[in-house]
A and B are shown apart, each in its own frame.
Chain A
Amino acid sequence: MNQDEQVKVLGLWGSPFSKRVEIVLKLKGIPYEYIEDVYGNKSPMLLKYNPIHKKVPVLVHNGRSIAESLVIVEYIEDTWKTSYMILPQDPYERAMARFWAKYVDEKVMVAMWKACWGPKSEREKETKEAYEGLKYLEKELGDKHFFGGETIGFVDIAADFIGYWLGIVQEASGVTIMTAEEFPNLQRWSKEFISNNFIKEVLPPKQKLATLLKAQFGSVTSD
């Protein structure tokens, strides 16, 4: 059976979680059909393929669905063992990649989001957490081109929010935590990340994203 058959991605154009899946499919040269879900209105397809969380992204491959972006990314890696691999071979290096991807997902992104759009009473605490989280990532990245080393890997893909969305979120919310002065490595990394030809193809347009964010979360800033 042709492995490339019937790959569908159910996503939202502005979602960094959704884009992680598209990024890895592009990097690995896997063709897919993209289906846009609807902001604020979960489609029947979404409810069918992800009844547990009712969230995008969902990958449908040969009629079977997988949910949770980082689980999907690892599934793609396991299924299409092409020349472009996003996880290292060594078990220890793999564990480290998973650790940092999880850290980005569960700590940094959450804290950043709450620092920018959360209840005002919590912003100071969340800003501190976001700052500390970014500092750990800055240190982990170091002089490397990417978290994955010479090429874009699992952690880079998990950190797509930091690479692209963060700048736009900071501008839209008026909250600045990641500055070029304090985070030179991350700044350099994000420029390289978004200039990758495959990644460029899937990133949402800046202005459209800023408008969406302001519409969705802007009203929360007055509290």
Chain B
Amino acid sequence: MESLTLSDVEQKYYSELFVYCDTDNTKKVASNGRVLDLFRAAQLPSEVVLQITELCGATRLGHFGRSQFYIALKLIAIAQSGLPLRVESLNSVKDLPLPRFVVGKNEAEARHAALYQDADSQGLYPAPGTALIPRPPGRGHQNKKGPPSSTSLPAHEVIQPLAPSIEAQPEPTSPVISPHQSPPTSPHSWRKHKRQHSGGNADRQQVVAATGAVWTQFREPQTGPVTGDGMWSSHSPPPPLPPSQESWVSFTADTPPSSTLPAMHPSSVQESTTIRTVASAATTNEIQRQSSGYDDPWKITDEQRQYYINQFKTIQPDLTGLIPGSAAKEFFTKSKLPILELSHIWELSDFDKDGALTLDEFCAAFHLVVARKNGYDLPEKLPESLMPKLIDLDDSAEVPEPAAEVGYSASPVEVTPNKSPSMPSLNQAWPEMNQSNEDTAIVHPVPIRMTPSKIHMQEMELKRTGSDHNHPTSPLLAKPPELSEETKLPPSMKFVAANTVGDGYSSSDSFTSDQEPITRQRSQSGASPDALKAVAPPPPPPRPQQSHSRSSSLDMNRTFAAPAAPGQPQPSAIAFPPAVPPRPLPTQSSVPLTGHRVEAEGVPAGGAGLTTTSPQQIPQQPNFADFSQFQAFAASEQPSSLPDIDKHSEAGQADKISEGAGPLRAVKSDGPADERTSATVNSAKGSSGPLAPPPKPVRRRLKSEDELRPEDEQIGPQKAGAIAAPLTSQPSIPRSIGKDKKAIQASIRRNKETNTVLARLNSELQQQLKDLLEERISLEVQLEQLRPFSHL
């Protein structure tokens, strides 16, 4: 490359820029976003930029080495001053102003720039964008100095080589001193934010300076609050700063610039790929902030927030929902930040560590990405203002410090920032939980095997304390879905209590530490013994899980609920199927049925004599036909006993059939007629086989066939006897007797059915009881085994 001679100022400036662009610290800058953005910010036509790139040799090499970068910068300066781009001109042009870049993207640059105070008129570090920061007063003077800059200021801060006027800022601590030196006229575009970052690092205040005005893109009036600010601390006597800066509220001038910003914003918003578009009317916010006396470098302004929310919607239309990790990953990868940084941002912003982002978390992440892109270093810890919380970002609504931010909802509804995560809070949570649980419609206390999962859930909530406060609505709303996957613990179970182990939490360490594995329950099924043990101390919360929990058996719920609720109906319903077809008329009805069928298939039940009469009878009484089939079925079970009787009664059957129908119907009032019909249908269809089989399966639907069979058989003989009696006796007499007997037998049958059902329930309960006892024993054993360790 052609040799390049740079003045000191240029040298420094370029090296700053290079460092800025050299995100990977590889000493060579690929054509990554920063470089391109920087070049774009030079406001040169793209072909010029291309030309420059070519000239400096980057296209050849494929990347910008340090020398190429410098050359490019110099060429930019040349181009900006209107000179033709020539390689020769690199060294020939004298007194070339430093390249100008619009709007600071680069916080780091500003910081670096601050380090260098150059009295050189040209050399004044315009550190792109934020250079203004260190030199607020310089900015003011900048107006005087550079006409172009002043004109462009309204639109956006142009970093220009500022006449060092104020540069008198002697030392790196310029901002601090500058106030004193430069009359308040300066703050033309100066925006000062009094910062009271919770970090309490007054150093940062300097940076705050003109940031706001500077950034069209990244509207944060704050500068990287935490990390990188180590640099600040190196230079700047904080003390003098605050008071002086206070006097600097020169926002009025800012409004014009800021007003243009929103205009710019939309355009930049268009690019979804670059996340830099965080324009916002910082002014009002800043003013507010100033007035409120609280300033947070990481605060999200309303515009920014709105933008974030819109972006959130593109991924997840439901604002209370969650963005899954993979989607968030794709989205943030578009910002072209290195994966490591994105990973760090994720760690910071995913407050509840669930692998998904709520709206607040997403905004925080987005904000951090924007900050990073603008050169802010990522904080080690999530700044307060970015912590997900219920309250909208507002100065007034500042959330208490993170440490105390045991944000959690003692009750499922309110958010009571409980500063002292202690047992009392736990206790508070319990009663509320009780109340809320009572609301859940619990049929009746059912011993459900829920402890492990429920405790896990509790622990998880306990651990999530810090974040709990967060989930304004979304978490609370989102919780249920989350819960559903884990346990059905109602949100009220968020006991806030001690979030992290580190907190000076009142409960014992073991308690908190035990919670942790449980919090991981979602990833591991183990830890149940510990979970159970850990929960032992606090009074076990009411069992909300009667509704449902992962470990509880749904069947049980249903099983218990169902029988309990319906109670009688079921048994009676069950009772029906086997029901009741009035036995006394088995032969009567069966005969006619079997009549026409027997001929077809020699049904055992009926005699064949009634063929003629039976068909007539049957069609006339279709309902009855069902019953008769049924009876035929029943009767068929006792083929041996009945056949002769049937035959005997053949003649009298016809009459009795009709009568039988009546009582039959009466007896089976609520009988599942459909069953009958189906039985009928079955028999009708399955006429091939004997009548008996079709009805049988139908009948058995509701109950085990085994149970039915014996019953039927038991009843059968009785019925047979009953049948015999009426049959033999006079028609009138048998009728009355038959009715009584039918009723009794029906009720007997019903009771037997009920008995069976209850017996089944009993057996199931016994089974559950056994299981629970087993569990209990195992837990006790574990407790015993672990007890000696606890004394260690």
Q: Do A and B bind each other?
A: no
